[in-house]
Amino acid sequence: MLCKRIIPCLDIKDGRTVKGTNFVNLRDAGDPVELGALYAQQGADELVFLDITATVEKRKTLRELVNRIAHHINIPFTVGGGISSVDDVSALLQNGADKISVNTAAFKNPQLIQELSKEFGSQCVVLAIDTRQEEDGEWYVYLNGGRTKTEARCFDWAKQGVELGAGEILLTSMNHDGTKQGFALDITRELATKLPVPVIASGGGGTMQHFVDVFEQAHADAALAASIFHFKEIAIPELKGYLQGRNIEIRPV
Amino acid sequence: MDLVIIKYNAGNIQSVLYALERIGVNALVTDDYEKIQNADKVIFPGVGEASSAMRYLKEHKLDTVIKNLQQPVLGICLGMQLMCAYSEENDTTCLGIFDEHVKLFSPPTDRGIKVPQIGWNNIFNLKSPLFKGLPENSYCYFVHGYYAALGEHTIATADYVQPYSAALHRDNFYGAQFHPEKSAKVGEQLLKNFLSL
């Protein structure tokens, strides 16, 4: 049986891991390569590295970091942050990234998804969507790390992204991110059950039961979290044991 | 030992090189026929699309080179699929080392099964020294939308939509649908086993 995946996310700024609450208040949680290798050893199924200050000048630094990660880590990893061209992706894949995630640039230029999936295959194109549920009950797409609201509905954009060739959706609920009150089950379920590609749920995981809920109730294919792992609030082996005890298919540590 | 990784227009080649480095083995990534032919062992990796990969191999006459290799060869993912007879992916005639056909996963629409398969799945009915030291139902990392059906050359089975070939073997040729280079300790053991064949 295909397993549900547990994915620690490492936000990177200036080559170091950081994680904020609701996208502000960054705290330092260490060296990305060391931390990533530790998670891999503990039984993480994949890793996601998001460069949150990706600027043109910093891209070379990111490539070097990706290369170092690829040398040291024996599980798959995704790299995202500021990716806006086929050349960006080509450089990251050549340095050993397994997948890349696109967000703002893909929204502004949806053709990018098609170009990337044609050039490198859908399996390495992850569409990351930051979404927030507004007063009207609708989930809207946000850009630029959650700073810019759009009028697009989350489901519509996800569906379009998949039609253009995205092979996976990384869905972050801004309402839930950093709250540790549980994942956004409704929107995750909508995407996970209506789209033909895997959905990674992100934002809000605070207890081991939250992971059970997102897999069982929302049918997420994978769950991503950051600070609870970085600050050792939940250990991956413990989490996997808990999920196994709830009869959720996971890769044993 | 002279270990060669075949270079062609497919992705993921560096990852194999790095995985080998992690177990203390250096390899040469090359498309030079002589170096491939003279290597002690050859790895044929790849993530990509079958028809463009086959076209590239033919244009560079690597198709004949690969088919005629006598030393142990390990195809990974697309590499393994290209070693089969035929792939439904853009109706592609492949190398024909294994008789098995490569088909698209077609799950019933009501079961919520995603294609491609992405993630860790267990492998069973392990029947080869390639799996020495690995227990039944070891977990490996898979990323693929097409699969090789079960056949006489199947040496490991995985189940997604239906049972299919997780690995194949014929004479000196081995193929793994999953990615040993990304399958943590299990993958490292498999690579070590291949190197000691």
Tens of pLDDT, residues A134-170: 999 999 999 998 999 999 999 999 999 999 999 999 9
**pLDDT interval class at B155 (50, 70, 90):** very high
Q: Which of B21, B105, B120 to mutate to test the interface with A (most CBs of A within 10 A)?
A: B120
CA B94/CA A126 separation, integer angstroms: 29
Give yes or no for A253 touching B (CB within 8 A). no
In 3D space, the residue among B50, B81, B57, B56 whose CA is nearest the CA of residue B178 turns out to be B81
Q: Where are the alpha helices (DSSP H) in A7-166?
A: 32-42, 59-72, 86-94, 104-108, 111-120, 154-164
Average pLDDT over residues B52-64: 94
What is the per-residue pLDDT across A101-141, written as a single tens digit (0 to 9) for each? Answer: 999 999 999 999 999 998 888 889 999 999 999 999 999 99
Q: Do B139 and A94 touch (CB under 8 A)?
A: no
CA A152/CA A156 separation, integer angstroms: 7
**pLDDT interval class at A21 (50, 70, 90):** very low
DSSP state of A97: -
- CB count in 10 Å sphere of residue B12: 27
Q: How many domains does chain B have?
A: 1
End-to-end CA gap in chain B: 12
A43-57, A94-108, A157-171: range with lowest mean pLDDT: A43-57
**pLDDT interval class at A211 (50, 70, 90):** very high
Owning domain of residue B57: 3-195
DSSP state of A136: T
Nearest residue, CB atoms, A121 vs list B18, B47, B182 = B47
Scanning every residue of chain A, which has its alpha carbon at the shortest distance from the alpha carbon of B186? A74
Q: Are strands B138-144 and B146-148 parallel, antiparallel or unpaired?
A: unpaired
Q: How many CB pairs under 8 A join A and B?
A: 88
Interhelix angle A32-42/A236-245, rounded to 10 degrees, is 30
Average pLDDT over residues B51-72: 95
Secondary element (H or E) of residue A141: strand A139-143
Interface subset of B 85-114, CB within 8 angstroms of A: 112, 114
* Amino acid identity, position A127: L
The domain that contains B163 carries what CATH number?
3.40.50.880
pLDDT of A24 above 50: no
* Amino acid identity, position A249: E
> Contacts of residue B144 in chain A, CB cutoff 8 Å?
123
How far does B65 lie from chain A, in Å, by closest CA?
A: 25
The pTM for the full model equals 0.93
Q: Do A167 and B11 touch (CB under 8 A)?
A: no
Q: Do B116 and A252 touch (CB under 8 A)?
A: no
- DSSP SS3 for B187: helix
Nearest residue, CB atoms, B120 vs list A167, A193, A251 = A251
Question: Does a cis peptide bond (omega within 30 degrees of 0) precede residue B108?
Answer: no
Q: Do A95 and B14 touch (CB under 8 A)?
A: yes
Q: Which of B7, B12, B137 to mutate to test the interface with A (most CBs of A within 10 A)?
A: B12
Query: Which of the residues of A are catalytic?
Result: 11, 130
A92 and A68 Cβ atoms separated by less than 8 Å: no
Average pLDDT over residues B138-145: 95
CA A16/CA A52 separation, integer angstroms: 11
